[in-house]
């Protein structure tokens, strides 16, 4: 039996592919196979083997009245509308996320002050749940921090307002 030389080209190719995959995409995909096991509200879910996930870049009204209502009230959204939209956002997530296998793209920083993973949540069809909630008028753009999809989210919110979807159905137009 003759000794064959080790194919060093294969090692070089494998190393190059590894480096390309590490730098090819700015996305930091965490888990291509996480199933949503629970929906807490419009912007917080539970994903198997991950834990609580806060949808990055959005805010939805709370199910119960809170001090956070003041932001929406300044925008002309009534308390009655806030509670309805909070329920609608919850039901939207139950319908579109619960039991579904999602892909998570973590944010920077990766966790919020409550220890929840901050992430963009992608549905099996590739659509982003965070953006869908804004497009349906069920969420607003979280403006306190910068994040990768901020401009896209702001444009979607502007369209939802103009077309009077969800939160914006009865709110006065902003100038």
**Active site (catalytic) residues:** 54, 62, 116
Nearest CA among 149, 113, 114, 116 for reference residue 133: 149
Beta bridge partners of 128: 122
Q: What number of helices (H) and strands (E) belong to the chain?
A: 5, 7
CA dihedral in degrees (153, 161, 60, 79; nearest 10)? Answer: 160
Instruction: Confirm if 105 and 27 have CB atoms less than 8 A apart.
Output: yes
Q: How far, in Å, CA of 91 to CA of 99, rounded?
A: 13
């Amino acid at each position: 039996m003759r000794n064959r030389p080790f194919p060093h080209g294969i090692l070089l190719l494998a190393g190059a592919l590894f480096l390309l995959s590490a730098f090819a995409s700015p996305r930091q995909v965490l888990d291509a196979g996480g199933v949503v096991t629970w929906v807490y509200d419009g912007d917080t879910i539970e994903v198997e083997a991950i834990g609580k996930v806060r949808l990055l870049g959005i805010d939805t009204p709370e199910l119960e009245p809170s001090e956070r209502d003041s932001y929406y009230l300044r925008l002309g959204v009534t308390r009655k509308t806030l509670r309805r939209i909070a329920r609608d956002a919850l039901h939207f997530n139950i319908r579109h996320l619960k039991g579904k296998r999602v892909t998570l793209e973590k944010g920077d920083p990766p966790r919020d002050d409550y220890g929840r993973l901050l992430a963009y949540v992608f549905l099996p069809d590739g659509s982003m749940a965070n953006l869908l909630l804004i497009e349906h008028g069920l969420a607003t753009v979280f403006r306190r921090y910068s994040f990768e999809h901020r401009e896209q989210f702001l444009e979607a919110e502007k369209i939802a307002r103009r077309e009077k979807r969800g939160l914006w159905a009865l709110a006065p137009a902003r100038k």
